[in-house]
Structure 1
Amino acid sequence: MKTAIVTDSSSYLSEQQVRENDIIVVPITVIFGQETFLENIDIDDQLFHEKLQTSGLMPSTTQITLGQMQEVFDKLIAENYDEVICIHLSSGITSFIENLTEYAKDITEINVLPFDSRMTSQGEANMVLLAAKLRKEGKTGKEIIPYLEHLRETTKVDFMVDNLSFLMRSGRITNRSAIMGNLLRIKPILDMDEKGQIVIQSKERTRKRALQKVLNNMHSDLDRGAEEYRVSIIYGVDHELSAKWEETIQQEFPAAKFESNQLGPVIMSHTGEEIVGVIWGKDWMKM
């Protein structure tokens, strides 16, 4: 059985990870006014920052097209692949995975297995890396999916944004609560619920209290065995703040495996650049 693994650019896998694990990454489109950019191809973090500072425009994104996916499938069919596992951005953020699931029903030349990560960034990436690990061990797509479901069930995210205007514009929170939050300098802690939707979990007065709230949430899981968990610090442009979070959390849970993952234009289009957070879940390397 020849199995391919496909994901999207919001997983933010490194070039080395993509190359070593033979992963196909399909770019998501970022929009500034009338200009469109494919993430990691036409636009990187630096250009995104420049556009954000100088264009006077608020960025948006558009989901991967089924035409893009068909091009991938055609290539895989030509290379005699039997199946393809497609691990993508949360259905709570985009309808893409639902569209792909329907589209896949009419594809007969290759078995398409869509998988909703209900996550983004490192949470999504860890599922991709787990799939690649299991493929190397000889497992088929049908055998891999239950492992991905288990990892998804154990993966959680908490994150803090400094400017609520991006979330307000995207409709994730009401205009009134966003405006009040900015006036009162509230630091909202957000997470992703069981449907993969972004929700406000709490509103803290300071960054210090926000971090403490995250630590309290993590204790409920990691106190049962931190050595079984992988913890990922996610961030936008504030390297200093992300380093502080990583240092503090690592001191709290020294037995866990730690890594960091810088977010890119697609996610920052919805959250703004001033974002820091943590994703934790069972260590995929031990599954």
Structure 2
Amino acid sequence: MKTAVITDSASYLDPVVAAQYNITVLPITIIFGIQEYHDGVDITSQEFLKKLAETDKLPTTAQVTMAQMQEAFDTLADKGYDEAICVNLSSGITTFYENLVAYSRQVTNIKVYPFDSKIASAGEADLCLLAGKMAENGENADVIIPKLEQLRDSIHVSLVVDSLDHLRRTGRISNTSAFFGNMLKIKPILTFDDAGKIVPEAKERTMKQALQHIINSIDQTTFDSPMRISVVDANNPDLSKAWVTAFHEHFPKASVSTYQISPAIAVHTGEKAMGVVWDLDWNQI
């Protein structure tokens, strides 16, 4: 049994790492007016944020199509793969998972296993890397999926944004006025709930206080196995480095990694957003 792993570009996996684990990454489409870009293919995170700052046209996204999925299935089947685990962006912020579940019933040349990450970015990437590692070791979906569920259940995330405007405009967060009140000089902290929806978590007045809030949250989390902390930023490299240093100091036994927020996610968060994901270390499961 030969098992493939497919994901979308919201995971923002490094192409070298994706290739190392034979993970197929399909691009989400970024739309600026009449111009379309393929996330991670013909537009990078830095290029996207530069374009966002220079235009009055607010971008939108279009999810991976079933035609793209079928093309990937055909390619993998031709390479001798028997099954494909599809780890995708949270069903709480896109209908892709539901669409794939329905479409997969029509696929005949490879067995499709849709897997709802209920998360995005580094959390989604960790799930992909676990699946890729296990598939490379010869495991099949029956063994891999329970481990993915174990990892998914361990994932925690805090997302700090400069403004909620982008999330409100794109419909990725519900009305939060009652929670955040007057947004003046407030750093909203968001998270993903159990259904994979983006919801308010807390509010702080500075990024320093937001970091301390996240450190306190991680302190309250207990894992039976080694922990991984991922720091994710949208064009905020200096703050990312400072946060990485803080996490190394506070959690010396944890593995700490960094990611950039993909254009497909930055559409909703805006520039300067900071995210932290902490979970079981996928490389130790």
TM-score (normalised: structure 2)? 0.95
> 2:163, 2:188 within 8 Å by CA — same for their partners in 1?
no
Residue in 2 that maps onto 1:112 = 112
Change (3 A) 1:177 1:245: farther
Q: Count residues with an aligned counterpart.
A: 284
Amino acid at match of 2:190: L
CA shift for structure 1 position 181? 4.4
More helix by share: 1
1:21-40 mapped onto 2 (5 Å cutoff): 21-40=21-40
Whole-angstrom CA distance in 1 between matches of 2:149 and 2:185: 38
Whole-angstrom CA distance in 1 between matches of 2:272 and 2:44: 16
Amino acid at match of 1:86: C
> 1:168, 1:178 within 8 Å by CA — same for their partners in 2?
no
1:237-256 mapped onto 2 (5 Å cutoff): 237-256=235-254
- Per-residue CA distance 1:73-105 (angstroms, 9 max, x = gap): 121222232111111111111110111011101
- Per-residue CA distance 1:33-55 (angstroms, 9 max, x = gap): 12111111121123212321222
Identity %: 42
Moved more, 172-181 or 156-165: 172-181
Whole-angstrom CA distance in 2 between matches of 1:265 and 1:181: 28
Whole-angstrom CA distance in 2 between matches of 1:214 and 1:166: 22
Q: Say what the alpha-carbon RMSD is for the aligned residues.
A: 1.7
Would you identify which runs of 4 or more consecutive aligned residues in structure 1 move more than 3 Å? 175-182
Residue in 2 that maps onto 1:266 = 264
SS at match of 2:220: helix
Residue in 1 that maps onto 2:217 = 217
- Per-residue CA distance 1:198-242 (angstroms, 9 max, x = gap): 1111111222221111111111114x56x7101100111111111
Moved more, 69-78 or 123-132: 69-78
1:156-171 mapped onto 2 (5 Å cutoff): 156-171=156-171
Change (3 A) 1:179 1:233: closer
Whole-angstrom CA distance in 2 between matches of 1:179 and 1:135: 44
Amino acid at match of 2:144: I
Residue in 1 that maps onto 2:199 = 199
TM-score (normalised: structure 1)? 0.94
> 1:165, 1:178 within 8 Å by CA — same for their partners in 2?
no
Structure 1 residue runs without a partner (length 5+): none
Whole-angstrom CA distance in 1 between matches of 2:204 and 2:46: 30
Amino acid at match of 1:96: F
1:184-195 mapped onto 2 (5 Å cutoff): 184-195=184-195
Whole-angstrom CA distance in 2 between matches of 1:174 and 1:65: 29
Whole-angstrom CA distance in 2 between matches of 1:178 and 1:29: 32
> 2:7, 2:87 within 8 Å by CA — same for their partners in 1?
yes
